[in-house]
Amino acid sequence: MAAGRVDLSVDLAGLRLVNPVLVASGTFGYGTEYADLVDVSKLGGIITKGITLQPREGNPPPRICETPAGMLNAIGLQNPGVEVFICDKLPALREFGIPVIVNIAGETADDYVALAARLSECEAIAALELNLSCPNVKQGGMHFGIDCALTRTVVGAVREATRLPLITKLSPNVTDIAALARAARDGGTDALSLINTLLGMNVDIRRRQPTLANVTGGLSGPAIRPVAVRMVWDVADAVDLPIVGMGGIMSAADALQFIMAGATAVAVGTANFVDPGVTGRIIKDLAVFCEEHGVARIADLIGAAHSEESR
């Protein structure tokens, strides 16, 4: 079997992706930032930076801080607001010709509903990703994502406001992520994505103060990968919904761990900063892996680590 003939396509809640490699929200801007360096049209899809109803100026700096094999960020959802997004960002995103998944965030359930309704009027949006898990804003964000009843309510309300496929993004900052996954399912989500960043902190010992102006930030990068793989595994066991797995993916081997743990697609985040060419390499290496292991369709590997036979 030639690598070119391996079928990398996957079906994410009715959304057909030519390959399972997406870019994670907040790490790839609105696509154009990387257009000089990456052939964006070759990606399975793009998940855009979190959008809110009103523009947000974001948190004061410093907003990021490097940690061992990872980084903390507290961007605070800086974004131009949904109207500017639709006018200024969406047309260019559409040009890439790949599924555009718009990540939305709100402070109240009504915010999410209004965002979903507004974005549903636009063409060229493939799906919505509900960010119920941002650790870096005072109101909303993670506040929803750590409470099962709230999660179910918000997802249910958005479900009624749009016909676009809904992907609910789960927070890892909980004791039982499977319970949240079930709550999102009960609310009517079509898919789940996980994980968002893990709440963390760094102290600048020279200044004797927190390094980040926001005090805490979200940890991402290779450091969180084992936690993320475990959570994808747990959620795949708990619910029968497609999963977008993410957290520290740097290579095809990392992506395959998520897929075999139960993810239908994966999203690459922090690794884009380290190596903008990483997504292209992952897509290529996924095909090579499949070819070398006699796998005709990558979809056959989804959840492969769960089956008794594969042991």
Ligand X SMILES: Cc1cc2nc3c(=O)[nH]c(=O)nc-3n(C[C@H](O)[C@H](O)[C@H](O)COP(=O)(O)O)c2cc1C
Active site residues: 134
Amino acid at 92: A
Nearest to 69 by CA among 219, 280, 276: 219
**Residue among 238, 249, 260, 265 that touches ligand X (CB under 6 A):** 249
70 binds other proteins (CB under 8 A): yes
89 binds, among ligand X, other proteins, none (CB under 5 to 8 A by kind): none
169 binds ligand X (CB under 6 A): yes
Return the number of the residue (9 or 216) whose C-beta is nearest other proteins.
216
24 binds, among other proteins, ligand X, none (CB under 5 to 8 A by kind): ligand X
Residue number of the CB atom closest to ligand X: 26
Among the listed ranges 21-29, 120-128, 200-208, 296-304, the one in contact with ligand X (CB under 6 A) is 21-29
Compute CA distances 140 → 103, 117, 203, whole Å: 14, 19, 26
276 binds other proteins (CB under 8 A): yes
249 binds, among ligand X, other proteins, none (CB under 5 to 8 A by kind): ligand X
Compute CA distances 43 → 9, 59, 79, 172, whole Å: 11, 30, 23, 26
45 binds other proteins (CB under 8 A): no
Q: What are phi and psi of 255, to 5 degrees?
A: -60, -40
Distance of CA 256 to the CA centre of its chain: 16
CB of 309 to ligand X, least distance (A): 30
Sign of torsion, CA 55 60 62 66?
Answer: negative
CB of 17 to ligand X, least distance (A): 17
Contact 144, 136 (CB under 8 A): no
**Interface pattern 89-118 for ligand X (x via CB under 6 A):** --------------x---------------
**Residue among 162, 168, 173, 197 that touches ligand X (CB under 6 A):** 197
**Residue among 49, 56, 89, 118 that touches ligand X (CB under 6 A):** 49
Amino acid at 19: N
Nearest to 44 by CA among 264, 265, 251, 261: 265
- CA triple 236-239-240, angle to 5 deg: 90
28 binds, among ligand X, other proteins, none (CB under 5 to 8 A by kind): other proteins
31 binds ligand X (CB under 6 A): no
**Residue among 221, 245, 262, 303 that touches ligand X (CB under 6 A):** 221
Contact 204, 71 (CB under 8 A): no
Write the DSSP assignment of 186-235 as a string of letters: HHT-SEEEE--PEEEE-EETTTTEESSTTSEEEEESGGGHHHHHHHHHHH
Residue 238 half-sphere exposure, CB side, CA atoms within 13 Å? 20
**Residue among 17, 53, 75, 235 that touches ligand X (CB under 6 A):** 75
The residues that touch ligand X, with contacts defined as CB under 6 A, are 24-27, 49-50, 73, 75, 77, 103, 131, 134, 169, 196-197, 220-221, 224, 246-249, 268-271
The residues that touch other proteins, with contacts defined as CB under 8 A, are 26-29, 33-34, 36-37, 49, 55-58, 60-66, 68-71, 73, 75, 78-81, 207, 209, 213, 221-222, 250, 270, 272-277
